[in-house]
Amino acid sequence: MANTPISVTVDQVTYEDDVEPRTLLVQYLREQLGKTGTLIGCDTTNCGACTVHLDGQSVKSCTMFAVQADGHDVTTIEGLAQDGDLHPMQQAFHEKHALQCGFCTPGMIMQSIALLQENPNPTEQEVREGLEGNLCRCTGYQNIVAAVQAAAGAGSAAGTQSEEGAA
Amino acid sequence: MTVTEIGSARLRKEDQRLITGRTRYTDNMTLPGMLHIACVRSPFAHATITAIDVSEAKASPGVVSVLTGRDLADEQGSLPCAWPITEDQKAPPHPAVAVDHVAFAGEIVAVVVARTAAQARDAVELVDVDYDELPVVLGLEHALTDEVLAHPSLGTNKSATWVFDSAEAGTGTDVDQALAGSDVVVERTYTQQRLIPAFMEPRSTLVDPTGDQIVMWSATQVPHILRLMLAMTLGIPEGKVRVIAPDVGGGFGGKLQVTPEEVVTLLAARRIGKPVKLTETRSESLMAAHHGRAQLQRLKIGATKDGIVTGLSVDLLADMGAYLGLVTPGVPVLGAFMFNSIYKFPAYRFSTTNLFTNKTWTDAYRGAGRPEATFGIERLMDDLAAELGMDPLELREKNWIKHEEFPFTTVAGLEYDTGNYEAATAKALELFGYDELRAEQKQRRDAGDRVQLGIGISTFTEMCGLAPSRVLGSLNYGAGGWEHATVRMLPTGSVEVVTGASAHGQGHETAFSQIVADRLGIPFDNIEVLHGDTASSHKGLDTYGSRSLVVGGMAIVAAADKVIEKAKAVAAHMMEANPDDVEFAAGNFTVKGTDASVNIAETALAVFAAHDLPDGMEPSLDSDATFDPENFNYPHGTHLAAMEVDTETGEVTLRKYVCVDDIGNVVNPLIVEGQIHGGLVQGIAQALFEEAVHDDAGTLVSGSFVDYLVPSAADLPSFITDRTETPATTNALGVKGVGEAGTIASTPAIVNGVIDAVRHLGVEDILMPCSPHRVWTAINNAGKGGLAAKGGGAEAAVPETTSPEQAASGSNSSGSLPTGDVQ
C-alpha cells in the first residue's frame, strides 16, 4: 500500500514524513522518530503505557494511526520538561515514589496531567477513576494517587503548565 | 558528612531517567542492520506437527529467514531446569522451537526473521503448519490418573513426588498418629488458581552477533544465570557471551527464566550474522511467558478442643504445565518450609506431586511457593477456628511462637532467628479497630443486613534471602545462593559499586548507595551502582526471592569493609602512625589521642598516584566480596482486611486494609512502603480478580488485558501500612526481605474476610478469584442447605468459567458440588 505523507508536530518539532497507513501513532513515534520514551505495554488499549497528548488531550497512541495525527500537535513524556526543569507532575512522581520499574510511568504521568487539566482538585476516588485506563503492576497505585494529589495541591501549575498545543 | 543514610527516605536515583522517558528498555534499542523476529505459535494445546510449509512466508517482502524446529534441532539443545527435586524426576525435552510435538497453546513452532517487525508479523500469517490434534490433559486430578498424557513419550504425567516428614527428619512426631489422637480434625481442599505474572514490560531480546562476543540484551531478572545457561545449553564458551539486562520493566519472578525467545533470537542472530530483536506482544506474553501458582492443596489439621494444633498434613498436586522451566519443580518445595508458618506444630508431613498438563509451564511468581503455603495454612486456621467456635486470632495466638522462644527450630527444620508476632499483631489490631469492627459485624449479622461485614486475618512469615548455598545443595538445586559485589574507589573519591543483583524496579541504585554512603562516609550522590551487565558485573546470582538487600547488600558491606581495611593501612602510612592506632568513622581516619586525620578520598588519590605506599602494598583499594548467608531471614507480619459482601449481588468491597510488617531494620522506608503496596495488590488481585482461564481445548481464554484482570487504581483503596522492627540476627545489617511480603500475606487475609462475612450463612469456601458470581453462587447454594456438610472437604462454589481445572477441582474436593450453575 502506498505510503501517506503526514506533517506532525511532536515535542515542539514539526516532522514531514511518509508513513504506511496502518502504522500506529506509537509505532511512528518510537520507530520513525526515536521517541522511545513512549512505551507499548499491550495490544488491546488496556494498559495506557503509550499515553501521549494530542492537542492537549490524552490519547493512547496505540489506538490511533499516525495518519490521524496529520496536522496535529503531539506531546510525549520526552517533551514535558522545559529547559531542564521537570514538569510538576514528573517532580511529584519522583517525590512520592510513584514509580518502581518505570514502565507505566510515561503513560501514567501523561494521563495524570490530563486528569488535572479536567479536574484541578480531584478527590482520591476521582484520581483513581481518572487513572482507570492506565495499569501499573509495581506500585499498588497508592503513591501514584498521592503524587497526583500532591501535584494538584502544588497549585495550578501541574494542571496548567503550558504545553504546546494545549494553550 | 552524613552517616545516617540507612533509614532515611532517600528519593530514588533511578527516577530521573524513568520520569523523563530517557529509558533503555530492550525494545527501545536499535542496532545497525537490525532484523526482527516474529513467532509462529501453536494454536493447539496438544498436537503433533506433521508438516510445515514456509515457502510463501520466505517469499514475503522483507523476509530474511524462516526457521522451524527441525532447522534448529541440532543446535538448540534443551531449555534448562536447574532444580531436579528428586533423583528420578521425569521431564520431557524442552526445545526452544518445537520440532514435531507441541504440548501447550502458544508454543513456538517457527520464527520469521524480517527487516521490519511488521514484515515479520505479516509473514507469520503465511507459514502453513499441519497439526494432528491430540487429546489434552488440563486439570490436576485428571492429570493424576494418567488417562491422557501431556507428553505421551514420557509414559506418565507425574514428574516427581517430594516428601518431607517431621518424624523421619527428627523435627517432630508422626502426623498420622497426631491426627488420630486429636479432638478435632479439619480436612479441606483449597485451589490455588493459575496466575500470570503480567509484568508491564513485555519480554524483549536483542542479540548482536557481530563482535567477538555474542551480546544479548534481554528483559530478564537474571543476566548472570542466563549467560551461564546459554553457555551450558548451547555449547558457547561462557566468555564469548555477554548478557545485559538494561532497564527492565518488572519481573515478579516472571523474568526469572531462560526463555525459548532468548534462545531462538540468539540462534537466529548467529546464523544470519546480523543483530536480531524479538519483542513479544502482550497476548504472546500472557500465553507463553511462564505462569504461576496452580496447585490443589489437600490439607488436614488436628487440634485439641482447646485449640492447640496437634499436627498438619499437606498433600499437594502441583501443576508444572507442559515443561519444567528454570526452577519450576522447586516452587512447591519452597512451600514445604512455610505451611507450618509461625506456628509450633508438633507433627507435620508435606508431599507434593508435580504433574504435567497441556498448559503453559509454571515457575516462580512473586513469593514462589510461599504465598501458596501461607494461603493454605491461614485459610485452614480460620476453618479450624470456626470448627472450634473460637476467635481465629485467639487460635493463632495459642499456637504461634512466642517472642521469648526465639531462636526457634520449626517442625519443617528451619531455625527462625527472631520475631515478635505479638507486637506486630497488637499494633495491627489497634490501627484496624478490631474490636469495633467485630461489634459492627455482629450488629449487621443480627440485623440481617444485605451488606455483611467480614474480618480477614493473615499472620504470616516467610523465608527470604535465597539462599544459604548448603541448603540449596541439600535440596538438589543446581547452584549456590551467594551474591557478589565489588566496591571501587575512584581517584576523585567517588565510588563505584558493582553488584551481582539485577534490579528491575526495586531501587537498588538508591538503597545500595545508602549502605555504601554510611559504610564509607562517602556522599550518597558520589556513589554509582553498576549492575545488570555481565561485562561490568562479572559475577552474580541476580534478583529474586527477596535476596538483593539481604544477600547482595551484605556482599557490598563486606567489600566496603575490605576497602576500609586497605585504606586504613594507607592512612596510617600517610599520618606516620601505627595502623593499630588508626580509627575509622564517617569517612575519616584518625589517630587515637591526636588530631591527625585523613579522609578516605585522600587515601584513594594517594593510592592512585602510588608514589608513596606502604611497602608491599598493591596500588588499589578496590575490593571484592562474595556473601553466602548462613540462614534465611524471616520477615513476618499481621494483615487485617475488612471485607463487605453484598449478599444479594455477591459484590465484594475491600473497605479497610491494615498491615504491620516486621522486616527488621529498614534501609529506605520509602522503597519499603512501595514494595508493600505493590505486593499487597498482587495478592489482593489473586483473591479477587486474576485467573488464567483455559477452555476445554486448552486455549487460554484470558489471553489479553481485556480478560486477565490486572487491577486498576479504581479497583483498590489506599492501605494503612506500618512496621515493627525486630532486627534479623542472620546478617550484620539486621535486615529482612520485603519484596514478596505483601503478596504472601494479603491473599488469605482477603479471602478469609470474604468467607467471614458469609460463613454464618453456611458458606465455607469460595474459589479464587472471589468474583461476584462465585460469591453469589456460594451464598445461594449455602442457603439451599446443600453445602453445610461438615468434614467432607471444601465446599467450593461453582466457577463461572468453563475452566476444566476449576470444575474438576471443585467437584473432586467437595463431594457436594452444587448443580445447575455451571455455565
Cβ–Cβ below 8 Å for A93 and B23: no
* pLDDT, averaged across chain B: 94
Residues of A in contact with B687 (CB under 8 A): none
Residue B733 to residue B716: CA distance in whole angstroms = 34
Written as one letter, the residue type at B540 is G
Give the one of B20, B25, B250 whose C-beta lies nearest to A90's C-beta: B20
3-state secondary structure of B658: strand
How many residues appear in chain B?
823
Are B781 and B818 in contact by the 8 Å Cβ rule? The answer is: yes
Q: Tell me which of A10-19, A35-44, A59-68, B807-816 is least confident.
A: B807-816
pTM reported for the whole predicted model? 0.94
Banded pLDDT at B4 (limits 50, 70, 90)? confident
| Distance in Å, alpha carbon of A30 to nearest chain B alpha carbon | 8
**Does residue B789 carry a pLDDT above 80?**
no
pLDDT digits (tens, 9 = 90+) for B454-488: 999 999 999 999 899 999 999 999 999 999 999 99
Which of B8, B13, B20, B284 should one mutate to test binding to chain A, selecting the residue with the greatest count of A CBs within 10 A? Answer: B20
What domains can you pick out in chain A, each with its CATH number?
Answer: 4-79 (3.10.20.30), 88-157 (1.10.150.120)
Of all residues in chain B, what percent carry a pLDDT higher than 90? 94
**Does residue A143 carry a pLDDT above 60?**
yes
pLDDT on residue A84: 87
| Distance in Å, alpha carbon of B749 to nearest chain A alpha carbon | 17
Residue B648 to residue B335: CA distance in whole angstroms = 37
Q: What is the mean pLDDT of residues B37-63?
A: 98
Q: Is B820 on the interface with A (CB under 8 A)?
A: no
Cβ–Cβ below 8 Å for B25 and A36: yes
Q: What is the mean pLDDT of residues A67-95?
A: 97
pLDDT on residue B797: 41
Q: Is B719 on the interface with A (CB under 8 A)?
A: yes
Cβ–Cβ below 8 Å for A93 and B505: no
Residues of B in contact with A84 (CB under 8 A): none
* Nearest chain A residue (CA) to B717: A142
Residue B263 to residue B220: CA distance in whole angstroms = 13
Which DSSP symbol is given to B414? -
Which of A24, A35, A77, A142 should one mutate to test binding to chain B, selecting the residue with the greatest count of B CBs within 10 A? Answer: A142
**Does residue B787 carry a pLDDT above 50?**
no
Q: Is-same-fold flag (B31-134+200-250+255-288; B292-466+631-801)?
A: no
**Three-state secondary structure readout of B270-282:** HHHCCCEEEECCH
**Does residue A126 carry a pLDDT above 50?**
yes
Interface size A-B, in CB pairs within 8 Å, comes to 172
Give the one of A30, A90, A138 whose C-beta lies nearest to B19's C-beta: A90
Written as one letter, the residue type at B256 is L
Residue A18, Cα to own-chain centre: how many angstroms?
24
pLDDT on residue A6: 98
Banded pLDDT at A155 (limits 50, 70, 90)? low
Q: What is the mean pLDDT of residues B303-308?
A: 98
Cβ–Cβ below 8 Å for B19 and A94: yes
Residue B319 to residue B688: CA distance in whole angstroms = 21
Are A105 and A41 in contact by the 8 Å Cβ rule? The answer is: no
pLDDT digits (tens, 9 = 90+) for B167-183: 999 999 999 999 999 99
pLDDT digits (tens, 9 = 90+) for A34-69: 999 999 999 999 999 999 999 999 999 999 999 999
Q: What is the mean pLDDT of residues B616-625?
A: 97
Written as one letter, the residue type at B789 is A
| Distance in Å, alpha carbon of A144 to nearest chain B alpha carbon | 9
* Nearest chain A residue (CA) to B684: A140
Cβ–Cβ below 8 Å for A141 and B12: no
Strands, E assignment, chain A: 4-10, 13-19, 51-54, 57-60, 73-75
Are B813 and B296 in contact by the 8 Å Cβ rule? The answer is: yes
CATH architecture of B31-134+200-250+255-288: Alpha-Beta Complex (3.90)
Q: Which residues touch B616 (CB under 8 Å, ≥6 apart)?
A: none
| Distance in Å, alpha carbon of B682 to nearest chain A alpha carbon | 8
**Topology adopted by domain B482-627:** Aldehyde Oxidoreductase; domain 4 (3.30.365)
Place of cell 538494561: B246
**Does residue B81 carry a pLDDT above 50?**
yes
Residue B79 to residue B292: CA distance in whole angstroms = 18
β-pair partners for B53: B128
Banded pLDDT at A1 (limits 50, 70, 90)? low
Residues of A in contact with B283 (CB under 8 A): 43-44
Q: ∠ at Cα B584 (B581, B585), nearest 5°? A: 140
Cβ–Cβ below 8 Å for A47 and B705: yes
- Give the torsion sign (CA, B355, B359, B364, B365): negative
Residue B233, Cα to own-chain centre: how many angstroms?
24
Residue A94 to residue B202: CA distance in whole angstroms = 24
Give the one of B14, B21, B281 whose C-beta lies nearest to A106's C-beta: B21
Q: Where are the domains of chain B?
A: 31-134+200-250+255-288, 292-466+631-801, 482-627
Residues of B in contact with A109 (CB under 8 A): 19
pLDDT digits (tens, 9 = 90+) for B82-104: 999 999 999 999 999 999 999 99
* Nearest chain B residue (CA) to A105: B19
Cβ–Cβ below 8 Å for A43 and B283: yes
Are A29 and A6 in contact by the 8 Å Cβ rule? The answer is: no
Residues of A in contact with B670 (CB under 8 A): 97
| Distance in Å, alpha carbon of B510 to nearest chain A alpha carbon | 12
Residue A16 to residue B751: CA distance in whole angstroms = 56
Cβ–Cβ below 8 Å for B674 and A40: no
Residues of B in contact with A20 (CB under 8 A): 118
Place of cell 478469609: B752
**Does residue B792 carry a pLDDT above 60?**
no
pLDDT on residue B665: 96
Cβ–Cβ below 8 Å for A94 and B21: no
Element (H, E) at B322: none
* Nearest chain B residue (CA) to A108: B19
Cβ–Cβ below 8 Å for B20 and A128: no
Cβ–Cβ below 8 Å for B15 and A102: yes
pLDDT on residue B726: 96
| Distance in Å, alpha carbon of B249 to nearest chain A alpha carbon | 5
Residue B808 to residue B792: CA distance in whole angstroms = 16
Using CA atoms, how far residue A16 sits from A27, A70, B632, in Å, is 16, 9, 59
β-pair partners for A24: A65
CA-based max dimension of chain A: 50
Cβ–Cβ below 8 Å for B678 and A140: yes
Residues of A in contact with B718 (CB under 8 A): 124, 142, 145
**Topology adopted by domain B292-466+631-801:** Aldehyde Oxidoreductase; domain 4 (3.30.365)
Element (H, E) at B694: none
Residues of A in contact with B712 (CB under 8 A): 128, 131-135, 141
pLDDT digits (tens, 9 = 90+) for B396-423: 999 999 999 999 999 999 999 999 999 9
pLDDT digits (tens, 9 = 90+) for B233-264: 999 999 999 999 999 999 999 999 999 999 99
For A12: left if phi > 0, alpha if psi spans -120 to 50, otherwise beta; the answer is left
Q: Which of residues 93-152 of B touch A (CB under 8 A)?
A: 117-118
Which of B11, B712, B715, B722 should one mutate to test binding to chain A, selecting the residue with the greatest count of A CBs within 10 A? Answer: B712
How many residues appear in chain A?
167
**Does residue B708 carry a pLDDT above 90?**
yes
End-to-end CA distance of chain A: 37
Are B327 and B141 in contact by the 8 Å Cβ rule? The answer is: no
B272-294 as b/e: b if 16+ CB within 10 A: bebbbbbbbbbbbbbbbbbbbbb
pLDDT on residue B808: 40
* Nearest chain B residue (CA) to A82: B20
